[in-house]
Chain A
Amino acid sequence: MATNVLPRPVQRLIDEFARLPGIGPKSAARLTFYLLRAADDQAFDLSDALRELKERTRFCSVCFNITEEDPCLVCEDLGRDRTLLCVVEEPLDVVAIERSRAYHGLYHVLHGAISPVEGVGPEDLRIAELVERVQKGNFKEIILATNPTLEGESTALYLQRRLAGLNIRLTRLARGLPVGGDLEYTDEITLGRALEGRQEFKE
């Protein structure tokens, strides 16, 4: 049997990297040796960042986005429209919507979508919390902004059932044509949905 000539700390970091999604043993080794040769600062900065990630962040107890303070900055921001709620699957979806600058309401992060195949049911998502929040709040409209995948669609449908009867307007993001897209080259499904979701033409 060959002896492992790598010092234990090196092997340990390789193993830790290899546990991350999308990183195989080869990349894990490459990253480790890169850090081994890099200036001390860089390695210590990384280790600080990792520690901070776990010690200084948590889920907002109102919207379940990741945050440093609880409640989060968005939930605390009094300049936002508190009658408008946007439900998304993941924290990164909030980032994407914020980037659009087109939305000024509040958020609710589910942390996934219903998918029995992957063992994810409503009880694994922040759905009970959503229902309670909506019942107590003063929302006029809830945008169900889950992804246009089968799982996202099913989740939206499920939420619609759970929230029906509360007399609040429920909406879904319009699924339209990509900007700069050409009608001729749009597949028939996208085009069909864009037609279904067509809107009044106003000036």
Chain B
Amino acid sequence: MHIRHLSLTNFRNYGRLELDLPLGPILLHGDNAQGKTNLLEAIYYLATTRSPHADQDAQLINWIAAQSEEPIVVCRLVADVAAAAEKRQIEMRLIQEVNLSGRNGGRTFRREALVNRRKVRLMDLLGKLQVVQFLPEDMQLVTGPPGNRRRYMDITLCQIDPIYCRQLSQYNKILEQRNALLRRLAEGRGKRDVLPIFTEKLIKLGSEIFRRRAMFLANLARETHRIHYEELTEGKETVRLGYLPRLQENGGRRADELIALEQLGEWLQSHVDDADAVQARFEQALAAALPTDMVRCTTSVGPHRDDWRFWINGRNLASYGSRGQQRSAILALKLAEIHWMTKISNETPVLLLDEVVAELDEHRRALLLTYIKELHQALLTATDPGMFTKDFLRQATTMAVENGRVIPDKI
């Protein structure tokens, strides 16, 4: 799929942008702080309803507009998307209203999503524009905290699988209810016979999430391994993704725990079609954890504590891998993600590459560029277009980004 037209109002440093986007690779170049990253962020936000950079969505509203005296400020993102079978328009609105009564600091913030000009739930926007994003920060997937890796799984899966997305959101609500109930019980309020109700729902939804993640990671692992082995290291190194489902309480020596969780991950991957077995296992784990959970007033097992990990030649990539090895693994993962999305949805995703090309050596850069040629559309940024080969620049559309304006280069 590809974006035919992008329109931004009051988004970051774009007061107003109307931009036609062609097929093929698009190179956005320009000095620092001109709006290259912001443009990719807008596209990613439309696809996922999340920003990779802002801690709060209100930060996305153009600050001059946000600080104006206007009673209502709307930041609007609209994309005309051409998918294989249909054309669609998707839109997000971030709305800031000043309420004079002065509650909440006098400002309220809300979001709206539209598909073909009809309001939908935010969740229903996911999948309407599919993207794969690759940022320098993605190295954090190897070394960062588990939350990063869960978020990556969730955002990627939600773009492809609306049922997963729905189940995940219900799971989180039930989890919140169950934890609140555990707190009430600890305080001597509430009734114990309500607990099974929330526990059973948690088991149903949670085991679906376990199964879908196990399937996803198995698919992604296979392709990541292939690309890494065949195309990046000429058969010298093997990379493996290990799922670490939180189907067992945290405890014991870290190394032993990792082995146990890894085994559970393998067990899950061989039982992805056996919903009953997964449910029974999750039920067992919850029951075993209940005494400590009652004391801590929280649910210590379940997909909300999942993790996964890279292994390089049988060792933990985060602790033993060199920077170069980590970079290759992430590149292989991203290329595998493109492959997986294309296979499942019969659509090629739009690829968003912010700066990463500059960080790759020649061999890896060349590989990435061959993948880009297979896609309908890819947006790349660089401060210096000189790092691209003449051949690539001939095929790409280049555009200059200057202070919140985008000017296609003359050919």
Contacts and interface: CB of A to CB of B under 8 A. Distances in A.
Contacts of A161: 193, 196-197
Contacts of B183: 116
B201 A154 contact: yes
Contacts of A123: 190-191
Interface string B144-173: 000000000000000000110010001001
B173 A150 contact: yes
A151 B177 CA distance: 9
B20 interface: no
A116 B190 contact: yes
A24 B103 contact: yes
A118 to B, nearest CB: 8
A121 interface: yes
Given A161-B193, A189-B166, A154 B101 contact: no
B343 interface: no
Contacts of A189: 166
B194 A122 contact: yes
B170 A26 contact: no
B45 interface: no
B411 interface: no
Given A150-B173, A150-B174, A122 B100 contact: no
A117 B198 CA distance: 12
A116 B174 contact: no
B197 A154 contact: yes
B163 to A, nearest CB: 7
Nearest to A23: B101
Interface in A121-158: 121-123, 150-151, 153-154, 157-158
A115 B180 CA distance: 9
B355 interface: no
B165 to A, nearest CB: 11
A197 interface: no
Q: Size band of the A side of the interface?
A: 20 to 34
A115 B196 CA distance: 14
Contact of B162 (A26, A153, A188): A188
A116 B194 contact: yes
Interface string B42-82: 00000000000000000000000000000000000000000
A42 to B, nearest CB: 25
A121 B189 contact: yes
A26 B100 contact: yes
A25 interface: yes
A187 interface: yes
Contacts, number: 59
B177 A115 contact: yes
A89 to B, nearest CB: 16
Contacts of A150: 170, 173-174, 177, 201
A184 to B, nearest CB: 12
Interface residues of B, number: 29
Contact of A117 (B100, B170, B180): B180
A62 to B, nearest CB: 24
Contact of A158 (B102, B177, B180, B197): B197
Interface string A177-191: 000000000011100
Contacts of B176: 117
Nearest to A122: B191
B191 to A, nearest CB: 6
Contacts of A115: 177
Contacts of B103: 24
B191 A154 contact: no
Nearest to B118: A185
Nearest to A189: B166
Interface in B182-196: 183-184, 189-191, 193-194, 196
Indicate the member of A151, A187, A188 with the most B CB atoms within 10 Å: A187
A124 to B, nearest CB: 10
A119 B184 CA distance: 8
B197 A157 contact: yes
A114 interface: yes
B32 interface: no
Interface in A92-126: 114-117, 119, 121-123
Contacts of B201: 150, 153-154, 157
A134 B191 CA distance: 21
Nearest to A28: B101
Nearest to B120: A187
Contacts of A157: 197, 200-201
Interface of B: 99-103, 124, 162-163, 166, 170, 173-174, 176-178, 180-181, 183-184, 189-191, 193-194, 196-198, 200-201
Interchain residue pairs A-B with the least CB separation, the first 3: A116-B180, A116-B181, A24-B101
22 contacts: A24-B99, A24-B103, A25-B102, A114-B194, A115-B177, A116-B184, A116-B190, A117-B176, A121-B190, A121-B194, A122-B191, A122-B193, A150-B170, A150-B201, A153-B201, A154-B177, A154-B194, A154-B201, A157-B197, A157-B200, A157-B201, A188-B162
Interface of A: 24-26, 114-117, 119, 121-123, 150-151, 153-154, 157-158, 161, 187-189
Given A117-B180, A189-B166, 10 more contacts: A26-B101, A116-B180, A116-B190, A150-B201, A154-B194, A154-B201, A157-B200, A157-B201, A158-B197, A161-B193
